[in-house]
Amino acid sequence: MRTRPLKVALLGCGVVGSEVARIMTTHADDLAQRIGAPVELAGVAVRRPSKVRDGIDPALVTTDATALVKRGDIDVVVEVIGGIEPARTLITTAFAHGASVVSANKALLAQDGAALHAAADEHGKDLYYEAAVAGAIPLIRPLRESLAGDKINRVMGIVNGTTNFILDKMDSTGAGYQEALDEATALGYAEADPTADVEAFDAAAKAAILAGIAFHTRVRLDDVYREGMTEVTAADFASAKNMGCTIKLLAICERAADGGSVTARVHPAMIPLTHPLASVRGAYNAVFVESDAAGQLMFYGPGAGGAPTASAVLGDLVAVCRNRLSGATGPGESAYAALPVSPMGDVVTRYHISLDVADKPGVLAQVATVFAEHGVSIDTVRQHGRQDGDGEASLVVVTHRASDASLSGTVEALRKLDTVRGVASIMRVEGE
Amino acid sequence: MRTRPLKVALLGCGVVGSEVARIMTTHADDLAQRIGAPVELAGVAVRRPSKVRDGIDPALVTTDATALVKRGDIDVVVEVIGGIEPARTLITTAFAHGASVVSANKALLAQDGAALHAAADEHGKDLYYEAAVAGAIPLIRPLRESLAGDKINRVMGIVNGTTNFILDKMDSTGAGYQEALDEATALGYAEADPTADVEAFDAAAKAAILAGIAFHTRVRLDDVYREGMTEVTAADFASAKNMGCTIKLLAICERAADGGSVTARVHPAMIPLTHPLASVRGAYNAVFVESDAAGQLMFYGPGAGGAPTASAVLGDLVAVCRNRLSGATGPGESAYAALPVSPMGDVVTRYHISLDVADKPGVLAQVATVFAEHGVSIDTVRQHGRQDGDGEASLVVVTHRASDASLSGTVEALRKLDTVRGVASIMRVEGE
Ligand SMILES: NC(=O)c1ccc[n+]([C@@H]2O[C@H](COP(=O)([O-])OP(=O)(O)OC[C@H]3O[C@@H](n4cnc5c(N)ncnc54)[C@H](OP(=O)(O)O)[C@@H]3O)[C@@H](O)[C@H]2O)c1
Ligand SMILES: NC(=O)c1ccc[n+]([C@@H]2O[C@H](COP(=O)([O-])OP(=O)(O)OC[C@H]3O[C@@H](n4cnc5c(N)ncnc54)[C@H](OP(=O)(O)O)[C@@H]3O)[C@@H](O)[C@H]2O)c1
């Protein structure tokens, strides 16, 4: 074993960074054995230098992250600051000064992955980011390496723990969205400003990263259709139950049936209770992968949290350090397939539509005609009058598979019918 | 991209090998892009040369596997013959003649993994075997690489599809073992001689491999406690249901609570219906991993079959080819921890014991005394007289956690009691 240590610069020492530092210290001997050389924490960049940080030598702490990555003797930079800047500039500076990089930064990777990979390649360095998607769950490496000889057709997952916690609460207790969100906030599962989670920005970033790796194609954040889960209601859960389903916020990356294009989207959807993703509880994450040869695989585990995320960061750190010792680099960006990313209108799936309609004869015929005219074939319809006898009824339509564009056209036309008082909800049905 | 192809020798062209050859042909362009050079099938060794093999150029087929691996121009040998010899000698010969090796051979890896790894190291070559454990499921790579910065405490999995199919049948239909086995055989899930599966030799080999990787310790096949599932009865399933459990054949690799030793074992066990492994249906496999930082992870997918296994083989093939191009090797054997492997007697778990006892007062007191004398604390007891009024009753005891040695001592003493007519079944209770 080499005795001269590899030097690691830690950028950020918050929820994730503090756990990275802790494990680097407590597991130092194991890491050295697994890498083939000791690793040494050479510096820790933070915003607030005076904050007391357990187990961190204060002499290592600096607010000058740029100077740290420019030192020139750093082997690996671990970026766990988050956000776009200064993280982006620090990472490219690190490459330019001879370091490889491990990052947990999904927002940055989804937005600028291609440029960062290009910078890594230019300098012959590694860029690893297992922690950026689904926290502790080994996912990037299995998709990129274990399935490298296979053809992935679909990746469908629960990749945001906060929203899964909220939806699980709504499902199990009948609570409404706000009540479940309040509980998630009180328990620390949701941040004070939950926008990134509940509006699915976080999940969309992960979908872009996953689609890129699965399909060997650059998928930009803008290519990902995104719909949050703030409008999911207790009534939706009741409808889902009627169908033997539950509701999950899913990130879905698909290859079109003809193989010539791909789509990526994030939205709430009904899935059958028998689907493995339906039983993913609380803040857990799980990702279902379908490929030509392997068939159906699922990866399950904690999607966030300091220690779990640090586990993924450290797995990358070991790999990057090993590469450094052997003079090799791991697999970089693979975008050779360069498939077109189709818009949401091209996505084909099933739909569950609840309509408020006038309670009189002929309405069903009218509604059915609109579906037929738009080429959307109906699987089942349930019609029931309201208890309050206000002359309104509910109509629940479940369709066969149809394109999102056809469905949108159908809904637009339905809204124009006099007898349709409102479209109460539209929910996609997946995983059947 | 390099234009000179990497040469692959395929040893064996049966269930798995024929799929490897097929995918190498149909996905040739993708493989070339992902590797950075084309791969060429340079020879195929089989036993029966005259057998017609779809899509295989007959000019490549040979019965002289030794000559093929000795050719000197082979980059990677894919060993999918199975069994100990000639596979072992072919693999070591391959290393000596400059090739790296991908194998799916769990029996060989479990028995001779250390020697094979040493041979690979001696010649600076790679030995990869993702397909040897849990077929298509990425497991070896996640354990060895993704979790390389973490401390794995337990690996518990369903790693044999045949026995899971049989147990699932027994559970869902109430069938007995023989009936379920017959159905598995008829459907092609069990081989004509099912011994390796039902007596858990196959699962034991996988447990040895998993324990070795998880604990960075050499675990020999002999170190694995092995108990088949041929004696599981419909009555056991009824008992399990009473406890809110089902029965699975589990491979369990554990680090002792004090961290100073490890155990590996394979046996049928009750697990709660709420445990993620309980819902693994049919011939699927799943492995649950618990580590310090990542927490609980699960990997799920098809554990066997030609195409799924070939997916894993090809993932390894891509990695090994990439290593070859960069002049590096992947992680080899890691056995630095060299922890002692404790015998089964040291394993601590809970037990479900069914006794046939005389239906008279005082029996429970006698039985309870025996448990107490051996330091095995009782959680619950259920006692019920038989319908046929033959003077016998059943006593079902569920214990708290106790060592296997204490439990064995208890059972031995129970058998000596006049009032105990027989020990109907002993089943471990896991996953709580
Ligand atoms: N938390 C999770 O569960 C989780 C899971 C997966 C991925 N991630 C990703 O991991 C990254 C870090 O997340 P986190 O939860 O650990 O964040 P955090 O708790 O907010 O920590 C951020 C750290 O960065 C430091 N920092 C902020 N701006 C800085 C600057 N300009 N220069 C130097 N240091 C600066 C902060 O310093 P102070 O300590 O002085 O404030 C803090 O130590 C993010 O990309 C996030 O998306 C997090
Ligand atoms: N099948 C699965 O689902 C699965 C899953 C995981 C791992 N594995 C492992 O994969 C390996 C192969 O399994 P398999 O199911 O593909 O076996 P298989 O169908 O029995 O095929 C064995 C192949 O090896 C050839 N062969 C046998 N002896 C040979 C010799 N002395 N020299 C050259 N070729 C020889 C056979 O030739 P002929 O074609 O002429 O008979 C046949 O092509 C085993 O290690 C197994 O444990 C299998």
Secondary structure tally for chain B: helices H, strands E: 14, 17
Look at phi and psi of residue A72 and say left if phi exceeds 0, alpha if psi is from -120 to 50, else beta. Answer: left
pLDDT at B389 over 90: no
Say yes or no for a CB contact (<8 Å) between A308 and B293.
yes
Judge whether B430 is annotated as a binding position.
no
Q: What domains appear along chain B, each with residue ranges and CATH number?
A: 6-135+307-326 (3.40.50.720), 140-301 (3.30.360.10), 344-429 (3.30.70.260)
In B87-199, the DSSP E strands lie at 100-103, 127-128, 152-158
**pLDDT value for B388:** 63
* B213 Cβ contact list (under 8 Å, min separation 6): B140, B143, B144, B334
Residues of A in contact with B39 (CB under 8 A): none
Instruction: Provide, for chain A, the percentages of residues in helix, strand and coil under a 3-state DSSP scheme, each rounded to the nearest 5.
Output: 40, 25, 35
Say yes or no for a CB contact (<8 Å) between A314 and B302.
no
User: Six-digit token pair at B415?
Assistant: 């058998």
As a whole number of angstroms, the distance between CA B280 and CA B300 comes to 8
Instruction: State yes or no: cis peptide before A343, omega within 30 of 0.
Output: no
**What band does B44 get if pLDDT is binned at 50, 70 and 90?**
very high
**pLDDT value for A411:** 97
User: Whose alpha carbon is nearest atom 25 of ligand 1?
Assistant: A12
Say yes or no for a CB contact (<8 Å) between B294 and A314.
no
The distance in angstroms from the start CA to the end CA of chain B is 52
Residue B317: name the closest of B17, B4, B2, B3 by CA.
Answer: B17
pLDDT at B387 over 90: no
Residues of B in contact with A295 (CB under 8 A): 136, 301-302, 305, 307-308
As a whole number of angstroms, the distance between CA A191 and CA A184 comes to 9
Residue A304: name the closest of A313, A295, A315, A317 by CA.
Answer: A313
Ligand nearest to the CA of B306: 2
Say yes or no for a CB contact (<8 Å) between B302 and A291.
no
Query: What atom in ligand 1 is closest to the CA of residue A82?
Result: 45
Residue B308, min C-alpha distance to chain A (Å)? 4
Residues of B in contact with A156 (CB under 8 A): none
E strand or H helix that includes residue A300? strand A295-302
pTM for the model stands at 0.95
For ligand 1, which residues put their CB under 6 angstroms from it? A 11-17, 45-48, 51, 65, 80-82, 86, 104-106, 131, 135, 304-305, 309
Residue B179, min C-alpha distance to chain A (Å)? 26
Query: Average model confidence (pLDDT) for chain B?
Result: 95
Buried b (16+ CB within 10 A) or exposed e, A316-326: bbbbbbbbbee
pLDDT at B385 over 80: no
Tell me the pLDDT tens digit for each residue of B325-344: 999 999 899 999 999 999 99
**What band does A360 get if pLDDT is binned at 50, 70 and 90?**
confident
CA dihedral B47, B48, B51, B57 (to 10 degrees): 60
Residue A91: name the closest of A60, A118, A73 by CA.
Answer: A118
**What band does B195 get if pLDDT is binned at 50, 70 and 90?**
very high
Sign of CA dihedral B42, B43, B44, B45: negative
In B100-235, the DSSP E strands lie at 100-103, 127-128, 152-158, 225-226
As a whole number of angstroms, the distance between CA A385 and CA B273 comes to 40
CA distances from A84 to A18, A91, A95, A193, A223 (A): 20, 11, 17, 18, 19
Say yes or no for a CB contact (<8 Å) between A315 and B30.
no
- β partners of residue A251: A157, A266
As a whole number of angstroms, the distance between CA A125 and CA A119 comes to 8
**pLDDT value for B270:** 98
Residues of A in contact with B273 (CB under 8 A): none
As annotated, the binding site of A includes: 11-18, 106, 191
Complete DSSP assignment for B233-245: -HHHHHHHHHTTE
Q: What percentage of chain B carries pLDDT values higher than 70?
A: 99
As a whole number of angstroms, the distance between CA A339 and CA B240 comes to 51
Contact B259, B122 (CB under 8 A): no
Say yes or no for a CB contact (<8 Å) between B130 and A146.
yes
Q: Is the CB of B131 under 6 A from ligand 2?
A: yes
As a whole number of angstroms, the distance between CA B179 and CA B12 comes to 33
User: Whose alpha carbon is nearest atom 15 of ligand 1?
Assistant: A15
Query: What atom in ligand 1 is closest to the CA of residue A17?
Result: 16
Output the CA B26–ligand 2 centroid distance in Å: 21
Complete DSSP assignment for A41-68: EEEEE-S-TTS--TT--GGGEES-HHHH
Least confident of A232-241, A388-397, B245-254, B292-301: A388-397
DSSP reduced 3-state for A37? coil
Contact B139, B303 (CB under 8 A): no
**pLDDT value for A285:** 97
* A188 Cβ contact list (under 8 Å, min separation 6): none
What's the full length of chain A, in residues? Answer: 432
Q: How many CB atoms lie within 10 A of CB B240?
A: 25
Give, in degrees to the nearest 5, the angle at Cα B279 between B276 and B285.
85
As a whole number of angstroms, the distance between CA B313 and CA B103 comes to 7
Tell me the pLDDT tens digit for each residue of A272-325: 998 989 999 999 999 999 999 999 999 999 999 999 999 999 999 999 999 999
Q: Is the CB of B80 under 6 A from ligand 2?
A: yes
Of A10, A20, A46, A52, best ligand 1 pocket probe by most atoms within 8 Å of the beta carbon:
A46
Q: What percentage of chain A carries pLDDT values higher than 70?
A: 99
Of A81, A112, A206, best ligand 1 pocket probe by most atoms within 8 Å of the beta carbon:
A81
Catalytic residues of A: 206
pLDDT at A392 over 90: no
**What band does A389 get if pLDDT is binned at 50, 70 and 90?**
low
User: Six-digit token pair at A292?
Assistant: 């030509």
Residue A419: name the closest of A398, A394, A384, A388 by CA.
Answer: A394
Output the CA B93–ligand 2 centroid distance in Å: 19
DSSP-assigned letter for residue A5 = P
pLDDT at A222 over 80: yes
CA dihedral B134, B136, B137, B138 (to 10 degrees): 110
Residues of A in contact with B141 (CB under 8 A): 138, 141-142, 145-146
User: Residue with structure tokens 């059958």?
Assistant: A272
DSSP reduced 3-state for B179? helix
Mutate to test the interface with B, among A150, A154, A287, A290 (most CBs of B within 10 A): A150
Say yes or no for a CB contact (<8 Å) between A314 and B151.
no
Residue A359, min C-alpha distance to chain B (Å)? 44
Residue among B130, B294, B328 minimizing CB distance to A326: B328
User: Residue with structure tokens 């002499």?
Assistant: A59
Residue A313: name the closest of A81, A118, A96 by CA.
Answer: A81
